Structure 1
Amino acid sequence: MSTPAPLRIIVADDHFIVRIGLVSLINTEPDLKVVGEADDGDRAIALFESLRPDVVLMDLRMPGKNGHEATRRIRQISAGAHVLILSAFDGDEDIHAALEAGARGYVLKSATGEDLIPAIRAVAAGKKWIPSDVATRLKSRNYYEQLTTREVEVLGELALGLANKEIAEKLKISEYTAKDHLKSILAKLRVADRTQAVTAALQRGLIHL
């Protein structure tokens, strides 16, 4: 009886040492084989188009197109593509955005190889892989009212330390409107001040520095 061909994997991560470690780990499994490596989202997309692997193991924060954008593009190229996110970011908005983009699973980089390898096999088989720690973070999203696009823009400017007047000028809105957005942001994030709002937004993955 012939041995089945190994599952073909692309690893996309901009950190060289992390990527090499992942490649080495995956290639120790006889049923898995890394066939391509990418250090940014654009390269990951190009490799997917040319190699059509069984799984793309995708980081979120990379130069060029990020993991969310690359995942969405890959799913546009092939609706049946299997993308597994491997990220250090555990914010509920990061996780939600990745799954909305078409990822089949989400594993945190704090996981061990014993967690990652089964995830790759499951996603390759068309299953979803959402570990309990990721599911818990994702569920917490339901506790908050969703921010509007404009409110997220205001949050981004808050993170840069801009005052209300400066935010208003940059976004071409009135200072009154900027203050109104801030009031809404504080209420939706359930925080008391600007600093807490930025901290909460960073933790949840609403904004990134």
Structure 2
Amino acid sequence: MTASTMHSDSQAIRVLIADDHQLLLDGIATLLQSFPGVELVGQASNGQQAVQQFLALQPDVTLMDLQMPVMTGLDAITAIRAHHPRARIIVLTTYKGDTLVGRAVQAGACGYLLKSSLRHELLAAIQAVHAGRRYIAPEAQAEMARYASADVLSNRELEVLRLVAQGNSNRETGALLSIKEETVKAHMSTILAKLGAKDRTHAVTIALRRGILDT
């Protein structure tokens, strides 16, 4: 993309993309070129670069992947919003889990898009967020609604589940957390009930899908 095409229309919505997959970066760049009133002003391949590029370019809208090296997308959003509280950021991800959507919005994201639906939703999302509205992908909204009344795991329950997900037994988990094996079992019972899980494996699967645990 030449400088002339990147800065051809001063009224265009200026967009920065951050993603660690070059193919996706190239695909989104091509997609943006086909949108009327939108121009790509910069690209970043990790969260730290995204923050630097944002501060240097001051884009109108930033498209941010969540899973990136050096600094995650969530940390980058937090860092950007610390400098510019009104920054308009749209999360791009393959994950529609309700907990992850909640975390992104809490960090300051104005939009949440699934990579599988960018071709159909990206322009509408950019325009909505640029206009000061929020845009959450329908699939992600459905997940949020589905678990709106679900019980939230406590910090201790999250610690237990994270260690169990790593393959630790109740005894090993207890030793790592300096608590009794019986206490771990009690926590696991509560976790299964809160997640509506049949067993430990099912609980981990649900937690990963919902974004309660990171992959």
Q: What interval of TM-score do these two structures reach, taking the shorter chain for normalisation?
A: over 0.9
Matches of residues 132-151 of structure 1 in structure 2 within 5 Å?
132-151=138-157
Equivalent position of 1:130 in the other structure? 136
Q: Distance in 1 between matches of 2:166 and 2:214?
A: 11
Q: Are 1:10 and 2:20 an aligned pair?
A: no
What residue identity is the alignment partner of 1:207?
L
Q: Distance in 1 between matches of 2:40 and 2:196?
A: 44
Matches of residues 53-202 of structure 1 in structure 2 within 5 Å?
53-202=59-208
Q: Distance in 1 between matches of 2:120 and 2:195?
A: 36
TM-score, normalised to structure 1, is 0.94
Q: Distance in 2 between matches of 1:191 and 1:199?
A: 9
Q: CA deviation at 1:150?
A: 1.6
What residue identity is the alignment partner of 2:150?
Y
Q: Distance in 2 between matches of 1:30 and 1:139?
A: 33
Which segments of structure 1 move beyond 3 Å, counting only runs of 4 or more? none
- Matching residue within 23, 37, 44 for 2:29: 23
Q: CA deviation at 1:4?
A: 4.8
Aligned residues: CA RMSD: 1.4
What residue identity is the alignment partner of 2:200?
R
Q: Summarize deviations over 1:49-83 as a string: whole Å, max 9, x none.
A: 11111011011111122121211221111111000
What residue identity is the alignment partner of 2:82?
Q
Q: Which moved more, 1:150-159 or 1:197-206?
A: 150-159
Q: Distance in 2 between matches of 1:176 and 1:41?
A: 41
Q: Summarize deviations over 1:94-130 as a string: whole Å, max 9, x none.
A: 1111111111111111114231111111111211112
What residue identity is the alignment partner of 1:137?
E
TM-score, normalised to structure 2, is 0.91
Q: Distance in 2 between matches of 1:114 and 1:36?
A: 22
Q: Distance in 1 between matches of 2:205 and 2:119?
A: 31
Distance 1:31 1:129, change over 3 A: same
What residue identity is the alignment partner of 2:61?
V
- Matching residue within 44, 47, 50 for 1:41: 47
Aligned length in residues? 207
Q: Distance in 2 between matches of 1:13 and 1:21?
A: 11
Distance 1:97 1:144, change over 3 A: same
Identity of matched residues, %: 39
Where 1:63 maps in the other structure, the secondary structure is coil
> What stretches of structure 1 of length at least 5 have no aligned partner?
none
Q: Distance in 2 between matches of 1:177 and 1:53?
A: 50
Q: Distance in 2 between matches of 1:155 and 1:193?
A: 12
